[in-house]
Amino acid sequence: MKVNKLIFITSIIVSLFSIGCYLFFVFYFENPIVMGKEIAMAIFGSSFFVIMTAIIGYFTEKNKLKENILSNSDFYIGLYLLEEIDCNNAINRQSFAKMISASRNKILLLKKFLVEYYHGCFFKCTQNNKILLKIINISSQEYYKNLVKFEMYLGSPKPNFEILKQKFFNLIEQGKKLDEELGSWMRKIKVNLGDEFDFGEDFITNYEEDEQL
């Protein structure tokens, strides 16, 4: 997005310059031998073609970035819990490490794509971009730091398991808030999040009641 944006802006400047040169030659030169007009129009035509190409490339890359953001938005550590918990609803130290590592890698990729999207935007002062900047610089950064702290404590010789559980549940809550914040922003930029499959918070209760009827 950023490269296409710079190409677009540069091409606009060149186009305006070529139009200015054309008008200059039209009004100040009457000699038909002067080729300035033709050169100026040729430059304008080339710039116009580059502008069209840059616009197409910009929106293509923008849609691709949206897809990358969506595919890496499953950083929420609670999503990995069911994969690691055993039949006795217990979890071991190695499982903690796997979940933290998976979430940490996802949040790094997600932040990379969010930064690319932000720098590719034309207007940084819009409300959506202010929300995005907060997600990049504050929300995701704090979540990532807490993941790293948890991972370091987990790797200590004798970590307190009760503290591990409490910190882990804190990470789940923090990740949930970040997930909601990111989801709200993504809806504003028209990313399809599959809201048609959101059956509400009372889904389990309603589902069980339907089976009992």
> Which pLDDT band holds residue 22 (cuts at 50, 70, 90)?
confident
Largest Cα span, the chain = 93
Q: What is the mean pLDDT of the segment spanning 159-181? A: 85
Q: What is the mean pLDDT of the segment spanning 11-24? A: 88
Kindly tell me if the per-residue pLDDT of 188 is higher than 90.
no
Q: Give pLDDT, residue 21.
A: 86
Whether the model pTM is above 0.85: no
Q: Give pLDDT, residue 171.
A: 86
Do 198 and 159 meet the contact criterion of CB atoms below 8 Å apart? no
Least confident of 59-68, 73-82, 144-153, 185-194: 73-82
> Which pLDDT band holds residue 134 (cuts at 50, 70, 90)?
very high
Q: Where are the beta strands (DSSP E) in the chain?
A: none
The residue with greater pLDDT, 96 or 202, is 96
The residue with greater pLDDT, 92 or 154, is 154
Q: Give pLDDT, residue 83.
A: 59
Do 153 and 171 meet the contact criterion of CB atoms below 8 Å apart? no
Do 175 and 143 meet the contact criterion of CB atoms below 8 Å apart? yes
The 10 Å Cβ neighbour count of residue 29 is 12
Kindly tell me if the per-residue pLDDT of 150 is higher than 70.
yes
- The structural domains of the chain, with segments of one domain joined by +, span 1-63, 72-195
Kindly tell me if the per-residue pLDDT of 54 is higher than 60.
yes
Element (H, E) at 134: helix 127-134
Burial of residue 11, with CB atoms counted within 10 A of its CB: 0-12 exposed, 13-18 middle, 19 or more buried: buried
Of 80, 105, 81, 74, the C-alpha closest to 186 is 74
The residue with greater pLDDT, 66 or 80, is 66
